[in-house]
Amino acid sequence: MTSGSRSPEIRLAGLRPKQERSAAWGFLRSGAVVVLSITDEDLPALEELMHRYEDRPMDFADATLVLLARRESLSTIFTIDHNDFETYRIEGKQRFCIVPERSRRLN
């Protein structure tokens, strides 16, 4: 699940070989990723979320994912944005299960 505000972040243009771009588009069309809509009715809740986390600060795209997680009863998120999503809570209480796990530096 993703929101329309996150779709540009897939950055298909950054994939060099044509086969990589084709594989990425195939993955998106496979149904593995569902793009959900944010409507005007969601704007007050998004504003409230961004206000709640203004010390971070939370950007609009992250706010849409937190809102959609609440709306769709999801708690697992695929992101490398660990710092923010370890802070954000669903309904102000439930932590996200972040995939992949934070990588650990080797000494």
pLDDT (tens digit per residue) in 5-61: 555 455 555 566 777 778 878 888 898 888 889 999 999 999 999 999 999 889 999
Indicate the SS3 state at residue 75: coil
pTM comes to 0.75
Q: Position 91: which residue type?
A: E
Match domain 2-99 to its CATH number in 3.40.50.150, 3.40.50.1010, 3.90.1150.10, 3.30.920.30: 3.40.50.1010
Q: Structure tokens of 84?
A: 């923010």
What is the rounded CA–CA span in Å between residue 65 and residue 84? 12
